[in-house]
Structure 1
Amino acid sequence: MEGTNNQTGEYIAVDLRDFFDTPEEQNEQDVGIVVLTPHQQQMYDNIISVAKTVDPDKYEVFEKRMRDLEDLARSIAHFPSLLERHNLSGGERTPQSLIDSLIKHQAEGDYTLQLPSKATLGKGFLVAKIHTFSSLYKFAKSIKQPDAVWQELQQETITLMCSLLAEDVYLNLLHDPSVEMEFKQKLAMALLLLWEHRTDQNVSDIAPTLLKIWTARRKLAPAFGTMMGTSELLMLSMQLDDQWTTFMKAKLGDSGVSQAMEEFLFGISHEQILQLKTILRTKGIPAIGRDEVSSFLGVHVKADAGLDYRDFYSLYTVRRDNARVRARMRLAGPHKTIEDYFIQFVMEQEKEKQNNDHFAK
């Protein structure tokens, strides 16, 4: 199979087996969409047993929803696997030909019609699953289950949402000319696995940190004055794990990363940040609070948001779309989101660790 050498531009051999850690892992690729992982199944069984006792009507609703998800997964499984060779009307399709297509297709605009049907249908399945776990979380909280129960369901809802976010990030990075070809091969393979199974180990590893970042951001009360956010960034990093701290130390000196972090922290665009800096400097105002931002800018901006997974994803997509426009129009400001930078960093670190472990054997 073939890939492209980013330095010479010539094609070099790339074995898809390089993307799997063990032969056993590759043998698991035929399972199709995973309706519930073992951990999710355990959570579901626990809360559904409670629902059966305290609210039989809700129990029936949840059971029907789960049957619907299973039916949807079976329907999607009828579409050709993305991890196997198929002779389709457009010609032979292999995992590597899909990877090559994802990497080579650099047209601007929405990607929907360029993606396999299974990818698009699976996204709908994932959204339905996210809503299902959100309903389970709300139910657990409403019947006053122990905090650990509903918090775990909330965490799982956020993790599932992060799979939706990761799909966007992978596509963003595949269309980033600064990303090396070897890494794009890894990203494309990660996308195929995500589309095939609607689970992603990278997301499982990263989601807890993303949730901590979002939670910490909400607790901060940044002063919209100098807009530098140095103290806020320090506070944010102190509340998080080593993975985030390592990322901050390694990448915050990059102007794109610092600008993307500033957008995330303050909840407004790079352009609005610059505008607000000018307004406050002109008026001689040292600092304002989040609730005053809209009045100073003259437009409504959602500079703050709750812990709802829809707020998390919605504000991410605003920053994502703004970054794409800047990149396309070659405008100043961040061309990627902080999530793009962070996920890329973590995946690169993991790849480096795997290489070191390989050479150490």
Structure 2
Amino acid sequence: MTNNNFTSVDITEFFDEKEQAEDLIDTGIVVFTEEQKQLVKQLREKLSEVDKEHLELFNKRVEDLKKLASAIAAFPSLLERTELTVGSRTPQSLIDSLINSTREGDTTLQLPSKATLGKGFLVAKLHTFSSIEKLSKEVNMDSKSIKSIHDETVSMMFLLLAEDVYLNLIRDTTLSMDSRRQLALSLLLLWEHRADQNISDIAPVLQSVWTARTRLAPAFGTMMGTSELIMISFQLDEQWSDFIKTKLADADVNMAMEEFLFGISYEQITKLKNMLREQGIAAIGRDEVSTFLGTDVKVNMTEDYRDFYQQYTLRRDNARARRRLNIAGPHKTIEDHFISYVMEKNREKQIKDSYKTKENAQKSITVS
């Protein structure tokens, strides 16, 4: 897998000639993709016409991002052999350490510095694009550009999510070793460049599913809402539809889907079902859930990407705890299951394509 799908923006255009020598540093991080570069350019042109004060602040923010990326570039590449103070590190040794790690809890202090710093860069970039979206609305940019800026912001959230998913799946011993190594390589590429073609393809699907989920009004205590989501799923994307048809019978996938749909934990869902069954109540609405559970729970989600990420992290932490304690409930999130499914399908396709290429080459040699 290469990073040919991403092109770093030439940020030198934002600065004067005195600064350009420093700006030629190759950071290895995708500061802006080609599409993001065009959106930034459009906003700069609009601001130069109607709001030069905000243009100056905007350029300063871009400069700060570039400097942050340059500082991270000073740390050793994760894709090359590196001599460290306590020995050497290669991509292969890093992949092995990720796969063989048995550590539980927060692994921040065990991760490479470039990985941790890069995550901070991505958060800063996400906040920058969130501000850009607000600014683009204030200066009345065209609706298509505003939507594109919003979509780019959401895609950055999914990159944050992808890092967690990769770390979860790399340690999943139920997956094949080849799959785990592929995931580890994808994680290294994400850490190195803060871009990921896999997630660029998957993010729109998950975003569509989340949007559909926010617009449903599932009946708590039954699985009526799930059937609605399944019906909508068949209209969203072929990959998601195939995933639902293939994997929903798996108990862990089913439980993870319930958590995703209802917005409360497996434990709360189980408690609620038992209470309703004991009281002879078929189902209740979202506004009644907190009363029945005796605690304030947020079940009404908006389409805001921050709500998506917050809900994901809650489900992720709960799944990790259940896995560690080996107790009932989903041990993976629905995002874990879906991304694993897509990457496994992609790997199978690569193997088939490689086999066909070799087969055709052999036929060509035989004929000649």
TM-score (norm 2): 0.88
Q: Aligned to 1:104, which of 100, 103, 106? A: 100
User: 1:17 matched to which residue of 2?
Assistant: none
Query: What is the alpha-carbon distance in structure 2 between the residues aligned to residue 286 and residue 54 of structure 1?
Result: 58
Give the SS at the match of 2:271: helix
User: 2:112 matched to which residue of 1?
Assistant: 116
Q: Which deviates the most, 274-283 or 140-149?
A: 140-149
Q: Within 5 A, what are the aligned runs for 1:1-361?
A: 20=1, 32-227=28-223, 229-361=225-357
User: 1:13 matched to which residue of 2?
Assistant: none
Query: What is the alpha-carbon distance in structure 1 between the residues aligned to residue 265 and residue 205 of structure 2?
Result: 23
Query: What is the alpha-carbon distance in structure 2 between the residues aligned to residue 74 and residue 31 of structure 1?
Result: 5
Give the CA deviation at 1:31. Answer: 5.9
Give the SS at the match of 2:188: helix
Contact 1:82 1:196 in 2 (8 A): yes
Query: What is the alpha-carbon distance in structure 2 between the residues aligned to residue 67 and residue 60 of structure 1?
Result: 11
Contact 1:32 1:196 in 2 (8 A): yes
Query: What is the alpha-carbon distance in structure 2 between the residues aligned to residue 293 and residue 157 of structure 1?
Result: 32
Q: Which deviates the most, 45-54 or 269-278?
A: 45-54
Give the CA deviation at 1:358. Answer: 0.8
Cα distance, 1:248–1:289 mapped onto 2, change above 3 Å: same
Contact 1:223 1:287 in 2 (8 A): yes
Cα distance, 1:34–1:21 mapped onto 2, change above 3 Å: closer
Query: What is the alpha-carbon distance in structure 2 between the residues aligned to residue 273 and residue 128 of structure 1?
Result: 36
What whole-Å deviation, never above 9, does each CA across 1:29-74 have from its counterpart, x for those lacking one? x861110011110111112221222222222222111100000000
Give the CA deviation at 1:267. Answer: 0.4
**Structure 1: runs of 5+ lacking an equivalent:** 1-19
Contact 1:217 1:236 in 2 (8 A): no
Letter in 1 for 2:176: E
Letter in 2 for 1:285: I
Contact 1:216 1:239 in 2 (8 A): no
Q: Aligned-pair RMSD on alpha carbons?
A: 1.8
Letter in 2 for 1:105: S
Query: What is the alpha-carbon distance in structure 2 between the residues aligned to residue 263 and residue 157 of structure 1?
Result: 25
Letter in 2 for 1:262: E
What whole-Å deviation, never above 9, does each CA across 1:162-199 have from its counterpart, x for those lacking one? 00000000000112221221111111111110000000
What whole-Å deviation, never above 9, does each CA across 1:250-296 have from its counterpart, x for those lacking one? 10110100110110001000010011111112222222221221111
Letter in 2 for 1:61: L
Letter in 1 for 2:183: L
Alignment size in residue pairs: 339
Fraction of identical pairs, as percent:
59
Give the CA deviation at 1:227. Answer: 3.4
Query: What is the alpha-carbon distance in structure 1 between the residues aligned to residue 226 and residue 67 of structure 2?
Result: 50
Letter in 2 for 1:150: I
Contact 1:229 1:262 in 2 (8 A): no
User: 1:5 matched to which residue of 2?
Assistant: none
User: 1:12 matched to which residue of 2?
Assistant: none
TM-score (norm 1): 0.90
Contact 2:29 2:69 in 1 (8 A): yes
User: 1:3 matched to which residue of 2?
Assistant: none
Give the SS at the match of 1:63: helix
Give the CA deviation at 1:21. Answer: 6.3
Query: What is the alpha-carbon distance in structure 1 between the residues aligned to residue 183 and residue 346 of structure 2?
Result: 13
Query: What is the alpha-carbon distance in structure 2 between the residues aligned to residue 52 and residue 284 of structure 1?
Result: 65
**Structure 2: runs of 5+ lacking an equivalent:** 9-25, 358-368
Letter in 1 for 2:73: A
Give the SS at the match of 1:229: helix
Cα distance, 1:21–1:309 mapped onto 2, change above 3 Å: closer
